[in-house]
Structures are given as structure tokens and as C-alpha cells.
Structure 1
Amino acid sequence: MKKIFASVLVGAMCFSFAGSTFANGMDMKHSVDEVVGTPYKWGGTTVKGFDCSGFILYVFNQYNVDLPRTSKAQAQKGTKIAQKDLLPGDLVFFNTNGRDISHAGIYIGNGQFAHSSSSKGVRISKLTENYYEKRYVTARRVVSKEAYSEMSNKEH
């Protein structure tokens, strides 16, 4: 009887954890896919329009991950990650203005990242594209590897 109770309790705890981690059962890839094509809007944080850091806030807010508003401030959070160690969900940062970090995106795997481009809105780009490769600065992991893994791999 104790084993049955323990199994039920563990199962309930896992179900409860999953519900709090994955907003409405959505995984990160699905969250990104839903807003690809949203237009760029400076200062935008909603599906009516995003700037790069507003897009990141929108996606990560679905998982109750609290991040600062600007890409420069976001680049100070979490743990610094080498580009070769990127996992889906890591944040990637770029110097597009020649002065400092001025653009950010969410790494989604296979050398690609999602971001809100000022010219094309929310889209998927490759880190190896000449423009981004030359401007890459750093990457940050803002939640645990385990949480990223679950956020990125949850099936619908």
C-alpha cells in the first residue's frame, strides 16, 4: 500500500511540476513558431509587434522566467555559454550598432536562432550567416539544462 501511495504521490508531483513549467502545455519551439512573421516594432512586447528583447520576454514569460527588458541587460543574466555549447533555449547576443550588445535571439538548435529582425520581424536565422557571424558577442543560459531540455523537447 505504501508503494502505491508513493507512486501516486510522485506521479502527482511530476504532473504538477510539468503544468507549472510549460505554460498551457506549450513547448518553446511551439511558442516561437506561433509568432514567426510577427512584425518588428521598436519597444514592442506583444503579438502586435516585437523588438528583439521584447520577443525574448514574450517567449520566456510563458515559462515564468523573469528577464530584464533590454538585450544589453539580458546579456548579464544567467551563465555565460561558449557558442559550441549552445542548447535550444540559450540566449544569443550580437553587436549590430558597432558600440555594444544591441540585438538578441533565442537559440533553437542546428545552428539557428529565433529573433525579431528590424527589417523582417520575427524569423529564424543561422548563426553562420555572414551578418550574424561577424556580430556575435556572447550567449547566456538563463535556466537549467534540464528545464531547457523539457521546454524544447515536449511533444504535443
Structure 2
Amino acid sequence: MSAPAPDPGPGGFLLQGPPPAGRIAAYGLLFVLGLVIGVAGSLLQGGWFPGGLLLSLAGTGGLFLGGAFATRTRAGAVAPAAGWLVAVILLTSSRPEGDFLFATGFGSYAYLLGGIAVAVMCATLGRVVQPGADPARLGK
């Protein structure tokens, strides 16, 4: 016989309640910082090619991983990544006059794909706090 499933409770499957207001504000701030980093990185990677691309990707990685460590959740990396993605997608569209910010070239594609790869890595590497205060392995 297997052990019975835990009771999901009234809020859903094992939810402890809504996140605190401070954490929601932190996610909002991280989203806005992701927008800013997306715009700044888009300008920097095209203006100063090899160094600007590396600096832009390092800045995005620092923000994503820093958000995960600051909030101690993976959502702390996803919030700035979502802001970064919104900014970059809006900047890739061309205007009716033919103006655009991203040129077709290696640098632009490396920034787009590299930023997505950095976001995925930081979201999966983010430290998640184990339930309880026991530092031992689970199931021991």
C-alpha cells in the first residue's frame, strides 16, 4: 500500500497562502529592472559589438541570478526575465517608417538567444529553500 496523498487544503495543492506584499513588490521591481536591462542591453550590444554583447549578457545574468537569490525563489529569476523579454520583443519590431533597433546579424541573434539561455539557466539554478529548518537530506 502506498501512503495517502497529503490534503491539499482550501487554497490548492499544498499552498501556504498568498505571497507577502513585500515579495510581490519585489517581483514588480524586478520586472521593471528587467525592462531597463533589456533596453540598455539592446543599445549596448549593437553599439560596442564584442565587449557590449558580453557586458549585456553578464548584466542580464547578474540581474536574473541576483533576483533569484534575493527572493530565494525561482520566480525571482523569472520576473526580471519576463521584463527583459517584453522589452526585447518590443524593440525587435520595426516601425512603419522602416526604423528598427535590432539589425540582422550575429550580435543581435546572440543577444536574443543568449539572453533566453541565461534566463533559463538562472531560473533553474536559483536556490530554493527546503521546507523546514533541518539541513539533513529529505527522507532520511
Q: Same fold (TM over 0.5)?
A: no
Structure (1/2) with the larger strand percentage: 1
With normalisation by structure 1, the TM-score equals 0.29
Structure (1/2) with the larger helix percentage: 2
Higher-Rg member (1/2) = 2
